[in-house]
Structure 1
Amino acid sequence: MTPKLLVTIGICFYAVVVPFFEINQSHVFNPAWEPHARLHEVWQLATNTAIGVFSLWLTWSKDNIRLASLMTVLVTGGFLLAYSQRDYYGGSMVLSDGSEKMIFGVNLGLFAYSLAIALAITAVAIQRRTRLTYSAG
């Protein structure tokens, strides 16, 4: 059960929490954003939520922690790649009001998505160790 809970937490970060934070005036309804950029934002949110729903199904119905964890690493890793390259393309995590969401002095997205990857890796490791223990016993 622990691996399922760990991977579920990571999935919830990108499939539930991020849409909650971004379907508002700072992102989706931001009048300063070009309409094309807003379309891409909604597309990204819808796609990530759909991947999250699929990953939850994999986790809880199929007990496929490995594939659900891989999906988490791909989605959240995509953010980490974009974050690491933000200076190259002019991206920023600073909101239009000049603030930046931080936790423990680290950007919230960077923190949450790094944690999601760590949880996914931990979930796979626990499940693998558990299966190896049961198959050896």
Structure 2
Amino acid sequence: MATIPFLTAGRLIISIAALSNSISPYIADFNETHVYNPKWPPHARFHNGQTMSMGLLLGLTTLYYTWRPLVSALYGTGLYATKSAARDSTFNAAIIGSLYWITGISAILYPGTKWIDPEFVNSKYDGKLLGMPGQLPVFFMHVVFVWAGYALEARQLGALKAE
């Protein structure tokens, strides 16, 4: 039976993305453009709070699936997990870790949405990356980061030999 390494590059990458998933919505939204925007009606604030909380919980759930113990048997010298169980757990972590960012990418498709409110265009909140609205490459980067972590972890697991 193969021993699954605890600390791997794939798990670390997914964990960094998960922490960003939990923290970034609060960094991006707890300011004049969202939470403290006097033009926002109460129900818009409700949905903003819902979205921030969703980011936090998706990040925490991703961390759970990334690091949860996968015990399939106890053999003399330690605990062992199957490679397929470890891969499945990491795959679930990658799916969960992608959801917040994919919904951020898709949000622009709804009628009347814009990347930034008109009063904040050309302000400190109007960040552009690679000529695009700042959120778009950041959202894509997180999705790529999570799945790169999964690919590294799956590769690591595939390289393990049975003991």
Both structures adopt the same fold (TM-score exceeding 0.5): yes
More helix by share: 1
Unaligned runs of 5+ in 1: none
Q: Which has the larger radius of gyration?
A: 2
Contact 1:80–1:110 (8 Å) recurs in 2: yes
Summarize the alignment of residues 24-103 of structure 1 with structure 2, pairs less than 5 Å apart. 24-62=31-69, 64-83=89-108, 85-86=109-110, 89-95=111-117, 96-99=119-122, 100-103=126-129
**Alpha-carbon shift at residue 6 of structure 1 (Å):** 1.4
Q: TM-score, normalised by structure 1?
A: 0.85
**CA distance in 2 between partners of 1:52 and 1:17 (Å):** 10
**CA distance in 2 between partners of 1:124 and 1:22 (Å):** 28
Letter aligned with residue 75 of structure 1: Y
Residue identity over aligned pairs, in percent, reads: 19
Q: Relative to 1, partners in 2 of residues 1:46 and 1:29: Cα closer, same or farther, differing over 3 Å?
A: same
Unaligned runs of 5+ in 2: 1-7, 70-85
**CA distance in 2 between partners of 1:60 and 1:105 (Å):** 37
**CA distance in 2 between partners of 1:68 and 1:5 (Å):** 12
Q: TM-score, normalised by structure 2?
A: 0.73
Task: Name the count of aligned residue pairs.
Answer: 134
SS at match of 2:160: helix
2:141 matches 1:115: yes
Q: What is the root-mean-square deviation in Å for CA atoms of aligned residues?
A: 2.0
1:39-86 residue CA offsets vs partner (Å, 9 max, x unmatched): 110011012111111211222334632111101222211111112x15
**CA distance in 1 between partners of 2:158 and 2:98 (Å):** 23
